[in-house]
Structure 1
Amino acid sequence: MADFPATIDQLVRARADEYGPKPMVIDRHMRLSYTELDATTRAIAAAFVDAGVSKGTRVGLIMPNGVRWVQTAVALMRIGAVLVPLSTLLAPRELVAQLRVASVQHLVAVEEFRGHRYHDDLSEYDLAADLPALQRVWTPDQLPEPSDAAVAAVDAITATVTPADTMAVVFTSGSSGPPKGVIHSHRNALGAVWAGLGARCIDADTRLYLPMPFFWVGGFGSGILSALLAGATLITEEIPRPETTLKLLERERVTLFRGWPDQAEAVARQAESIGADLSALRPGSLEALLPPSQRAQPGARAKLFGMTESFGPYCGYPADTDMPRPAWGSCGKPFAGTEVRIVDTETGDPAPPGIVGMIQIRGPNTLRGICRRSREEVFTPDGYYPTGDLGHLDGDGFLFYHGRSDDMFKVSGATVYPSEVEQALRGIDGVQNTFVTEVSGAVGAVVVGGESVEALRAAARKRLSAFKVPTVWLLVDSDDAIPRGGTGKPDIRALRAMLEHQVRRA
Structure 2
Amino acid sequence: MLPDRGTQMTGPTVLAFGDREYTRAELDTAADGLAEVLARRGVESGQRVALMSSNRPEFVTAVLAVWRLGAAVVLLSPAWKRAEVAHALEITGARHALGDHPVLAELMDMISLDDPIPAAARTFTEPDPGADAVLVFSSGTTGMPKAVRHTHASFAVAVRHWRDALRLGPGDRIQVATPPSHILGILNIVTALECGARVRLHQRFDLERVLRTIESDKITIEMAVAPIALAMAQYPGLESFDLSSLRYIMWGATPVTASVAETVTRRTGATWLPAYGASELPVIACNPIESPRLDSVGKAVPGVQVRVVSLDDGKPVAPGADGEVQLRAESVMAGYLPDSATAGAFDDGWYRTGDVGNLDADGWLRLTDRSKEMIKVRGFQVAPAEIETVLHGHDAVADCAVFGVPDGANGEAIVAAVATSAPVTAEELMTTVQERLAGYKRLRRVLFVDEIPRLPSGKVLRRVLKEQYGRPADE
Matching residue of 1:6: none
Mapping for residues 425-464 of structure 1, pairs under 5 Å: none
TM value normalised by structure 1: 0.67
Q: Give the Cα–Cα distance (whole angstroms) in 1 for the partners of residues 115 and 322 of structure 2.
A: 53
State the one-letter code of the partner of 1:62.
Answer: M
Q: 1:196 to 1:376 in 2, by over 3 A?
A: closer
Q: 1:369 to 1:444 in 2, by over 3 A?
A: closer
Q: Give the Cα–Cα distance (whole angstroms) in 1 for the partners of residues 39 and 104 of structure 2.
A: 24
Where 1:108 maps in the other structure, the secondary structure is: strand
Matching residue of 2:197: 232
Q: Deviations over 1:174-216 (max 9, x none)?
A: 6884311011011111211211324334222111022231100
Q: Give the Cα–Cα distance (whole angstroms) in 2 for the partners of residues 143 and 164 of structure 1.
A: 32
Mapping for residues 16-55 of structure 1, pairs under 5 Å: 21-55=11-45
Q: Give the Cα–Cα distance (whole angstroms) in 2 for the partners of residues 490 and 314 of structure 1.
A: 29
Mapping for residues 336-485 of structure 1, pairs under 5 Å: 336-373=302-339, 377-380=343-346, 382-406=348-372
Mapping for residues 195-206 of structure 1, pairs under 5 Å: 195-206=161-172
Matching residue of 1:242: 207
Superposition deviation, residue 366 in structure 1: 0.7
**Contact map agreement 2:148 2:333 (CA 8 A) in 1:** yes
Q: Give the Cα–Cα distance (whole angstroms) in 2 for the partners of residues 173 and 283 of structure 1.
A: 30
Mapping for residues 61-210 of structure 1, pairs under 5 Å: 61-112=51-102, 117-120=103-106, 122=107, 136-142=109-115, 145=118, 151-152=121-122, 154-155=123-124, 158-159=125-126, 161-172=127-138, 177-210=143-176
The alignment of Structure 1 onto Structure 2 pairs a total of residues equal to 384
Greater fraction strand: 2
Superposition deviation, residue 406 in structure 1: 1.1
Superposition deviation, residue 285 in structure 1: 5.6
Matching residue of 1:465: none
**Contact map agreement 2:292 2:298 (CA 8 A) in 1:** no
Q: 1:209 to 1:321 in 2, by over 3 A?
A: farther
Q: Deviations over 1:294-349 (max 9, x none)?
A: 355xxxx6631111000x231111356334xxxx6121111122221112223222
**Contact map agreement 1:81 1:167 (CA 8 A) in 2:** yes
Q: Which runs of 5+ in 1 are unaligned?
A: 1-19, 123-133, 409-442, 449-482
Mapping for residues 305-316 of structure 1, pairs under 5 Å: 305-310=276-281, 312-316=282-286
Q: Which runs of 5+ in 2 are unaligned?
A: 1-9, 252-260, 375-403, 410-432, 448-464
**Contact map agreement 1:354 1:392 (CA 8 A) in 2:** yes
Q: Give the Cα–Cα distance (whole angstroms) in 1 for the partners of residues 20 and 191 of structure 2.
A: 20
Seq. identity, %: 25
Q: Give the Cα–Cα distance (whole angstroms) in 1 for the partners of residues 369 and 471 of structure 2.
A: 24
**Contact map agreement 1:212 1:218 (CA 8 A) in 2:** no
Q: Give the Cα–Cα distance (whole angstroms) in 2 for the partners of residues 176 and 376 of structure 1.
A: 13
Matching residue of 1:317: 287
Q: Which moved more, 1:250-259 or 1:34-43?
A: 250-259
Q: Deviations over 1:138-197 (max 9, x none)?
A: 322347746xxx622x32xx24x1222210111115688431101101111121121132
**Contact map agreement 1:331 1:400 (CA 8 A) in 2:** yes
Q: Give the Cα–Cα distance (whole angstroms) in 1 for the partners of residues 358 and 100 of structure 2.
A: 44
**Contact map agreement 1:30 1:67 (CA 8 A) in 2:** no
Q: Give the Cα–Cα distance (whole angstroms) in 1 for the partners of residues 132 and 222 of structure 2.
A: 31
State the one-letter code of the partner of 1:140.
Answer: L
